[in-house]
Amino acid sequence: MKHYFTGETDALKLLLSRGLPENVILHCQAVADTSGAMAEALNKNGFSLDVRLCVRGGLLHDIERLKKNHEHAGADLLRELGMNDEADIVEHHMGLGIDYNAVSEREVVFLADKITQEHHRTTVSERYAPALRMTEHLPEVHREIENVVKNCVTMESVYEALIGCSLMELPIGKYEE
């Protein structure tokens, strides 16, 4: 099976150069696959997203995962390398500045990350269920997570309506150069 990220050898080499554990690499590859599949499906339904940018953004979104504020550290690294579009995606993948009603490369990667647990696709609700259980005794944190889940579930529904199928049904491994 050919994955969406296979053609992005430079981004993959860069990701592998950061000394990340295997589980983070697999997660990034899964997010890249999901981002590519989502962008491709949206394009078939009237959008004109840069599929390869979505794949690179998904692949690199956790490039500095081992650092504090990894979204900013990753964006800084990518800007130093002249990868400004990818840096914008990486900087926003934690939710800062995300427009839950928009369809852009930034939002595609954001949502793809939220429906990818480890290296498996899941729903937003399933991904955040453990976090909600663990924070029941911390009302402020619990409310914050509930808000993220609510916004992401709405976003998930909007994207599914635009694509015409569940995000869980999207194929993986169809990207060709």
In this predicted model, what pLDDT tens digit does every residue of 98-149 receive, in sequence order? 998 899 999 999 999 999 998 889 999 999 999 999 999 999 999 999 999 9
The tokens describing 136, both together, are 């029941």
Classified as helix, coil or strand, 35 is helix
pTM reported for the whole predicted model: 0.92
Provide the CATH number for the domain formed by 4-169 in this structure. Answer: 1.10.3210
CB 132 within 8 A of CB 149: yes
pLDDT band for position 2 (cuts 50, 70, 90): low
Q: Where are the domains of the chain?
A: 4-169
CB atoms within 10 A of CB 64: 21
The span from the CA of 172 to the CA of 150, in Å, is 26
